[in-house]
Each structure stands twice: as C-alpha cells, then as structure tokens.
Amino acid sequence: AQTVTQSQPEMSVQEAETVTLSCTYDTSESDYYLFWYKQPPSRQMILVIRQEAYKQQNATENRFSVNFQKAAKSFSLKISDSQLGDAAMYFCAYRSANGNKLVFGAGTILRVKS
Amino acid sequence: AAGVIQSPRHLIKEKRETATLKCYPIPRHDTVYWYQQGPGQDPQFLISFYEKMQSDKGSIPDRFSAQQFSDYHSELNMSSLELGDSALYFCASSVAGVKNEQYFGPGTRLTVT
C-alpha cells in the first residue's frame, strides 16, 4: 500500500518570503500522480499543483512550484513571495495511475506572519 | 465556473439515526469520490463511482452505502450512526482519465450526538 509522509506538522514564514513544505511517499509503482492540496480555515480542499511521475520537469503554478525527486520519492512544495492568504493546512497526496483514490499525508499547517 | 455541490452543508443527528449526504458533480464529470475527514486528520477515501458503477472501495464501514445515479449525482447513506462518524464528508469529482484531477466540494459537516 502506498503511504505519504509529511514530517513538518507546522511551518511559519514571513510575508513575502519563501517557504518549502516537505513530502515523501512510498510506492512500488512507476506511474502515478502527486498533488498538493490547500485547506484554509473554511475547510474547502483546493488543488494547488499536480505532477505526473513520468515527467522530469517540475510543475509550476504562479508562486507555487515543486521539487520532484522520483528516485528519492520526494515531492516538496515551494511557495514564493508568501501572502497572508497562503495560510492554511497543506496536504500532499498520491494517486496511482491505475487507481481512483487519493492517499493523503497528515498535513502541514502553514502560518504566514505579517 | 461550476463547482461540486454538496448538501446539506451541516447535519446534526443522534446515535443510531440515519443520514443521507448528497453530491452533485461538476457538469460533464463522470466520476465521483467520497472522503471522510475526522477532526485534525487527513481525508480518508471511502468509495468512488464511475458511470454509476462502483470503481473503488476504501475504508467504508458496512453501515454506509453509496450509489451514483443516472444524472451522475451521488448519495452516501449512513445508518446506525455512531459518535465516531462525526466528521467532514467530502465529495470530489473528475473526468475519468483526464489529468486525474479531483475537484472537491465544500464538504458536509456531520455531527452525531
């Protein structure tokens, strides 16, 4: 079974600075998808960014980018120019290419200081 | 853009009662997923449907059942409710085989007293 580990329960960043959230996963599969979801206090789950395992190029979405290291099974999220609205719980998630379910990590609470 | 709709948004039930949660996927999405998020926990996959057929099953209790209807909306039926069923229940939808992105609804908060 696949597992996702987020080793940072909580992180803080100063507004306008950069922060990196860590995620590692365990799988024996070669084809899969990785995601970062944001859950603000409203509890809505918002897709931030996705990465296909077969792509070597790291995904980027505006201020959000990932560092995908397939051999190390690592998938970190970098948030640049942090904004107060980035404060939320961030979940890393895995999905098999042949499967349906998302497997989530325990989450990292991100606090943004003004 | 249209999003996933879930109803009700909040539900309070007593132990041993029954609850029905509804999910209306994004138009043209054919796959629906149900997740349960307990307090302070990550979402746990319950069950999914593709074209009205169950496509995958996770840690869904036998007291729960779900189905997807011809208009693609889905219902999660929960019977003999227990205190431990109190959680946020998310529905997500996607288009099968396309980008594999699941879009989540706002969730239904179920409180069992």
Assigned token pair, B85: 């069923």
Asked if A44 and B104 come within 8 Å (Cβ–Cβ), the reply is yes
DSSP secondary structure letter of residue A54: T
pLDDT of residue B99: 63
Asked if B104 and A42 come within 8 Å (Cβ–Cβ), the reply is no
The string of pLDDT tens digits covering residues A19-46 is 999 999 999 998 999 999 999 999 999 9
* A107 interfaces chain B, CB cutoff of 8 Å: yes
pLDDT band for position B2 (50/70/90)? confident
* B104 interfaces chain A, CB cutoff of 8 Å: yes
Cβ neighbours of B9 in A, within 8 Å: none
pLDDT of residue A98: 82
Asked if B107 and A97 come within 8 Å (Cβ–Cβ), the reply is no
Q: Residue B98: is its pLDDT beyond 80?
A: no
Asked if B45 and A102 come within 8 Å (Cβ–Cβ), the reply is yes
- What DSSP letter does each residue of B46-92 carry, written as one string? EEEEETTEEEEE-S--TTEEEEE-TTS-EEEEE-S--GGG-EEEEEE
* A89 interfaces chain B, CB cutoff of 8 Å: no
Report d(CA B30, CA B68) in Å as an integer: 10
**For chain B, how big is the Rg over CA atoms in Å?**
13
**Chain A residue nearest residue B96, CA to CA:** A100
The string of pLDDT tens digits covering residues A47-85 is 999 999 999 899 999 999 999 999 999 999 999 999 999
* B102 interfaces chain A, CB cutoff of 8 Å: yes
Report d(CA B34, CA A53) in Å as an integer: 25
Residue A49's identity, in one-letter code, is I
Q: Which residues contact B67 (CB under 8 A, 6 or more apart)?
A: B49, B52, B74, B75
Cβ neighbours of B44 in A, within 8 Å: 104
* B111 interfaces chain A, CB cutoff of 8 Å: no
Asked if A95 and B100 come within 8 Å (Cβ–Cβ), the reply is yes
| The residue to which tokens 């496509």 are assigned | B55
Nearest to B100 among A33, A43, A103 (CB): A33
Average the pLDDT over B78-88 and give the result.
Answer: 97
* B28 interfaces chain A, CB cutoff of 8 Å: no
